[in-house]
């Protein structure tokens, strides 16, 4: 399971690959819940779960109970309603990625813990 941690102060995000033991911290949690990240090596950090995806790439959707797949009607920004397959808001063993945001900062800088995605420079000249 991958954990994506967004830092609202810097506007950047990074990934951390979770072991099975670390992933158990998130199993059964719902979107919107806060998690103490001390077991992940982030002392005094609190993370809020904001979303995620399952092993097939379907997004987790707040408001759907459990971790079942369901086809729901979703309205887009242009007003068109489409039927989409989503998964419930509960994190399960089928969840591949969990998206989080830092709510409370700890003592250790977040840069030393997570791998930030490096920005590629354009080679066009």
Proportion of the chain in helix, strand, coil states, percent, rounded to 5: 10, 40, 50
Q: Which two tokens stand for residue 39?
A: 């077991």
Mean pLDDT in the chain? 87
- Output the pLDDT for position 13: 87
DSSP state of 20: H
> Looking at residue 116, what is its pLDDT?
58
Is position 16 within any domain?
Answer: yes
59: exposed, middle or buried (Cβ count in 10 Å: 0-12, 13-18, 19+):
middle
Q: Is 6 helix (H, G, I), strand (E, B) or coil?
A: strand
Q: What is the pTM of this model?
A: 0.83
18, part of any domain? yes
- 63 located within any domain: no
**Cβ pair 87, 37 in contact under 8 A:** no
Q: Residue 86 domain-assigned?
A: no
| Assigned domain for 68 exists | no
Q: Is residue 47 part of a domain?
A: yes
Question: Is 42 within a domain?
Answer: yes
Indicate the number of domains in the chain. 1
What range defines the domain where residue 11 resides? 2-57+92-115
Q: How confident is the model at residue 114 (pLDDT cuts 50, 70, 90)?
A: low
User: Is 80 exceeded by the pLDDT of residue 121?
Assistant: no
Q: What is the reported pLDDT for 57?
A: 93
Residue 40 falls within a domain, yes or no?
Answer: yes
pLDDT in tens, 31-47: 999 999 888 888 889 99
């Amino acid at each position: 399971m991958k954990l994506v941690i967004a830092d609202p102060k810097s506007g950047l995000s990074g990934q951390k690959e979770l072991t099975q033991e670390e992933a158990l911290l998130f199993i059964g949690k719902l979107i919107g819940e806060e998690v103490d990240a001390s077991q992940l090596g982030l002392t005094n950090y609190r993370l809020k779960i904001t979303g995620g995806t399952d092993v097939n790439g379907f997004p987790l959707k707040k408001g759907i109970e459990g971790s079942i797949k369901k086809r729901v009607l979703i309205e887009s920004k242009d007003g068109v309603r489409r039927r989409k397959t989503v998964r419930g808001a509960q994190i399960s063993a089928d969840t591949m990625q969990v998206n989080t945001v830092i709510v409370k900062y700890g003592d250790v800088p977040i840069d030393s813990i997570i791998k930030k995605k490096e920005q590629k420079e354009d080679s066009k000249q």
